Homo-oligomer: A and B are copies of this chain.
Amino acid sequence: MDFELSDDEAALAEAMRRMCQSRFPLERVRAGEGRRVVDADQWRALAEAGVFSLRLAEDDGGAGLGTAHAAVVFEELGRALVPGPLVATHVAARIVKGAGTGEQLVGLVHRPPMGRVLPVVVADLASLGAVLVVDEQGVHQLPPEALEAEPIDHGLDPLTPLWRLATIPEGAVVADAGTARELWRDHLVLSAALLVGMASAVAELATEYAKQRRQFDRPIGSFQAVKHLCADMLVRAETARASVHAAAVTIDQPDVGDALRAGAGAALLASDAAVANAKACIQVHGGMGFTWEVPAHLYLMRAALVSRGLGRAQRLAEVVAERL
Contacts and interface: CB of A to CB of B under 8 A. Distances in A.
A218 to B, nearest CB: 12
Interface of A: 223-225, 228
Tell me whether chain A's interface is mostly helix, strand or loop, or mixed. helix
A227 B7 CA distance: 46
Contacts of A228: 225
A228 B224 CA distance: 10
A224 B225 CA distance: 6
Contacts of A224: 223-225
Nearest to A226: B224
Nearest to A224: B224
Contacts of A225: 224-225, 228
A105 B228 CA distance: 50
Nearest to A228: B225
A314 to B, nearest CB: 14
5 contacts: A223-B224, A224-B224, A224-B225, A225-B225, A225-B228
Contacts of A223: 224
A228 B223 CA distance: 12
